[in-house]
A and B are shown apart, each in its own frame.
Chain A
């Protein structure tokens, strides 16, 4: 068992050696940042779905209290970094390349910094890996190296029973940033404790702690702190940007390449940042959720550069102020390093879980603004690309918006490390083109999806219209048929009525005729008796006798019609 030793290392191709500028921020020990008056906590500080607020405006919260819960599987909760009052829940500017605002919980600190009741896990060995992951999830821990992927997911080996190698990433290859370096120097014990827990969650056979060979103090500290651990090796890797990128680091340490469409897990490796391991230790052994982190505050505009232990949500301008920064001298404020970080457009943005560095650059530190020249196809970009892409072709097709070709050239394998832009003699901002092309492709996919939905909806609509039309038609036909049947019935009834009327009329006529005859017979029987007026009337009627039936019919006809 040896925790420091010569190991065979591999190398990834490409990479660059930018000036490091790390020395300046490692001269002072880690200091705690002052408690800010107000903390702004974005609900989205990690990869995945934003958290959902659990508190209301005006509510009192305690330090470490859960204030927003994760939504969905890939998400992380947010905790109150100090005690105080929730003064607002709403849109505030957040550190994001877009410069847009996002939902945040704003807490006004009461200055007491009073903890909520919390308890450590007495013996993590007694917990199952799954239970351990739950604790880590509830503590809101995400990757502190910069990506912010929820740690509990990363520590889930899935159906695999055990993992071969856990890699603790203490490479920190970006210029200027030293928070991992200082963490390893000063809190190696916390990291070592975290290693034990993470290994238990993963059931990893061995653990490699990788540190670039420009950090001898951190290397020594980690060697000492892990001396008592079995199968933990601290490895110095050659200083070469971007050796700290997960896939490149795995290649350096194991010689294996993570498949383009796969995860490190698929080749039996999990890689996590040293800061994340320390956060896991705090969550398990002290019961403290992730409410603070180390932040490097450096750059030419900072008078006393160094590393601060910062509560999440603290405005960056306060850190700049505490490190004797000169806001007026800041030409560009960057979150993260100069290679992969992004420029911020204001100084009051909050520190979030992925803020490893606040870099305040002066005009003198920025490359002189030079015009972008045409690509001369020199291939320097391809020579330094750690993924072995052809940035020059990608640039060509990105610029032409040939989104199919750009994917043929494996745009999505680009890790956006910025090596190509760094060496381009024509000063072409290659990575920006690639990010833009990726965005274009995502937009296209979304639009295609939307169009698909719209098309399906349209087809449904057409189908429904056709169906409705058919139904209407059918209804009309039925009605028509019913109406026709009705008319026929009525005509028949009318005929029957007529027939009845005719019969009745004939019968009446017959009865009248019989009556007349009877009267005639009576008159005849009375002999020479003078005729009565009735007989005279009857005689008048009698004049019509022969046409009696037709007269009756004309009389009856209106009656028949009225029926």
Chain B
């Protein structure tokens, strides 16, 4: 007897759960993400096929498991929507070839392949990887599906548009830069989080929304929704997301209470950057996460704390990838020390 479950079903449901986040992404930031997804997935499948063939593994079951598609999707969400195609392609190939297959393929990789790919891109192509775009409403030139595609694939912009005019720093980046210039959180948000009418009047791009970044908070909400559905479907357990979000919120709250001028609020941290994507889709990658319930709590909390530390005091505006990779390293140790109490045994 076997329950109606399989790796393929697990991966497909994870992909399905990304749809609300993806929809919000397209709504606020345009079609770039779709190209990213298509490029990353195509390259991932090709890389997976080549690696399976080289390693002498059967193609059909492994290609159908869907794990390469999930890796590609996570990577695509981490790459700016107008990044050139080769950035996405290199990242995706690196994730599948190096981070996954060189470590033994599905189930054997110690590090989250999407995050390895992302970090490789971030350190190799910092300009391309930090050129994000403002919400479409405030873009100087909201590109159509075809225009976005042409730019991503050929680097050709519509006439009269410069790349710099199209891009914008992310809210986390903006916050970090402005805090570095001595502004308080309240000032920054007052300047850059105006309502639409005022923004237009002053021709300022409102980077900040009601709780997080403009648009970003909706994407975060979409991922939160999808994540809760995954928990409901028992595809992921609640331990890692809760511990990660909880630890991040507690850290943020602590410093927000101490110095609200210099530290953003817990809600801002929860609804900015890759927090929700990380909590429900990245940190929960079973292969690279801790396995016991207690271990998962420790692992998730570790990611939350590291995320906050790097965001608040580190060199990078966001840090889900670094936090996840650092905690990936700790997984064997966590698994060793946090074994559940076996029935009929005293607690060790």
Contact call B343/A260, Cβ cutoff below 8 A: yes
- Cβ contact within 8 Å between B106 and A376: yes
User: CB distance A18 to B3 under 8 Å?
Assistant: yes
Assess the B61–A367 pair: CB atoms within 8 A. Answer: no
Contact A389 to B291, CB < 8 A, known contacts A378-B10, A425-B5: no
- Most A C-beta atoms less than 10 A away, residue of B6, B287, B292, B342: B342
Contact A259 to B344, CB < 8 A, known contacts A338-B1, A390-B291: yes
Q: A370-B61, A376-B106, A390-B340 are in contact. List 12 more A-B contacts (CB 8 A).
A: A259-B344, A261-B344, A367-B1, A373-B62, A373-B65, A373-B107, A375-B107, A377-B291, A379-B292, A388-B341, A393-B335, A422-B3
Across-interface contacts of B107 in A (CB, < 8 A): 373-377, 426
| Contact assessment for B5 and A260 in the assembled complex, using a CB-CB cutoff below 8 Å | no
Check: B141 CB closer than 8 A to any chain A CB. no
Which B289-348 residues have a C-beta within 8 angstroms of A?
Answer: 289, 291-292, 296, 335, 339-345
Q: Is the CB of A427 within 8 A of B6?
A: yes
Q: Which residues of A contact B237 (CB under 8 A)?
A: 379, 383
- State in angstroms the CA–CA spacing of A370 and B67 once bound together: 17
A421 within 8 A of B: yes
A380 CB-CB contact with B under 8 Å: yes
Q: Are B344 and A413 in contact (CB under 8 A)?
A: yes
Are the CB atoms of A382 and B291 closer together than 8 Å?
Answer: yes
B292 touches A425 (CB 8 A): no
The reply to whether A376 and B287 form a contact with Cβ atoms under 8 Å apart is: yes
| CB–CB B105/A374 < 8 A | yes
- Report the contact-size class of chain A (Cβ under 8 Å from the partner): 35 or more
Q: Is the interface of A mostly helix, strand, loop or mixed?
A: loop
- Min CB distance A340 to B, Å, is 10
How many residues belonging to B are interface residues under a CB distance threshold of 8 Å? 33
* Measured CA separation A427–B2 after assembly (Å): 8
Given known pairs A339-B1, A367-B2, A382-B292, the reply for A413 and B7 (CB within 8 Å) is no
Is residue B58 within 8 Å, beta carbon to beta carbon, of the partner chain? yes
Is the pair A376, B286 in contact by a Cβ cutoff of 8 Å? yes
Q: How far is the CA of A376 from the CA of B286 in the complex (A)?
A: 6
CA distance A557 to B106 in the complex (A): 110
State the CA gap A425–B236 with chains docked (Å).
13
* A172 CB to nearest B CB, Å: 16
Is A175 engaged at the interface, CB distance under 8 Å to the other chain? yes
B1 near A410: Cβ-Cβ < 8 Å? no
B125 at the A interface (CB under 8 A)? no
Contact among A257, A371, A422 for B343, CB-based, below 8 A = A257
List chain B positions with a Cβ less than 8 A from chain A.
1-3, 5-7, 9-10, 58, 61-62, 65, 67, 105-108, 234, 237, 286-287, 289, 291-292, 296, 335, 339-345
| B108 contacts across to A, CB distance below 8 A | 374
Contact A379 B286 (CB under 8 A): yes
Are B7 and A426 touching (Cβ within 8 A)?
A: yes
* Cα distance A393–B332 in the bound complex, in angstroms: 11
A116 within 8 A of B: no
Cα of A374 to Cα of B109 in the assembled complex, Å: 11
With A175-B1, A382-B292 already in contact, the answer to whether A376 and B7 are too (CB < 8 A) is: yes
The answer to whether B344 touches A260 (Cβ under 8 A) is yes
Inside 8 A of B58's CB, which chain A residues have their CB? 371
Q: List 28 A-B contacts (CB under 8 A).
A: A18-B1, A247-B343, A259-B345, A260-B344, A260-B345, A261-B344, A262-B344, A338-B1, A373-B7, A373-B107, A374-B107, A376-B286, A376-B287, A378-B10, A379-B296, A382-B291, A382-B292, A390-B291, A390-B339, A393-B335, A409-B339, A410-B345, A413-B345, A418-B1, A423-B5, A424-B2, A425-B7, A427-B6
Q: Which 6 A-B pairs have the closest CB atoms?
A: A374-B107, A260-B344, A367-B2, A378-B286, A338-B1, A387-B343
Structural contact, B6 and A260, CB atoms closer than 8 A: no
A392 lies within 8 A of chain B by Cβ: yes
Contacts of B3 in A (CB 8 A): 16, 18, 422-423
Chain B residues with CB under 8 A of A16: 3
In this complex, what residue of A is CB-closest to B343? A387
- B1 contacts A425, C-beta separation under 8 Å: no
With a 10 A CB-CB cut-off, give which of B2, B10, B61, B341 has the most chain A CB atoms: B2
In the complex, A386 has a CB within 8 A of chain B: yes
| Chain B residues, Cβ within 8 Å of A418 | 1
Within 8 Å CB of A390, what residues of B? 291-292, 339-340
- Selected from A12, A371, A425, the residue in CB contact (under 8 A) with B61 is A371
| Most chain B CB within a 10 A radius of its CB, from A373, A389, A423 | A373
> In the docked arrangement, what's the CA distance between A427 and B4, Å?
10
Residues of A within 8 A of B286 (CB): 376-379
> Quick one: closest A residue to B284, CB to CB?
A378
Bound CA span A251–B343, Å: 10
**Residues of A contacting B105 with CB < 8 Å?**
374
Residue among B3, B107, B291 with most chain A CB within 10 A: B3
* Neighbouring B residues of A441 by C-beta, 8 Å: none
Q: Which residues of A contact B1 (CB under 8 A)?
A: 18, 175, 338-339, 367, 418, 422
Q: Which residue of chain B has its CB nearest to the CB of A372?
A: B61
> Across the interface, which residues of B come within 8 angstroms of A374, CB to CB?
105-108
- Knowing A371-B58, A422-B3, the reply to whether A377 touches B343 (Cβ < 8 A) is no
B7 proximity list for chain A (CB < 8 A):
373, 376, 425-426
A425 with B6: CB separation less than 8 A: yes
Q: Indicate if A258 sits at the interface (CB-CB under 8 A).
A: yes
Tell whether, in the assembled complex, residue B61 and residue A373 are in contact, meaning their CB atoms are under 8 Å apart. Answer: yes
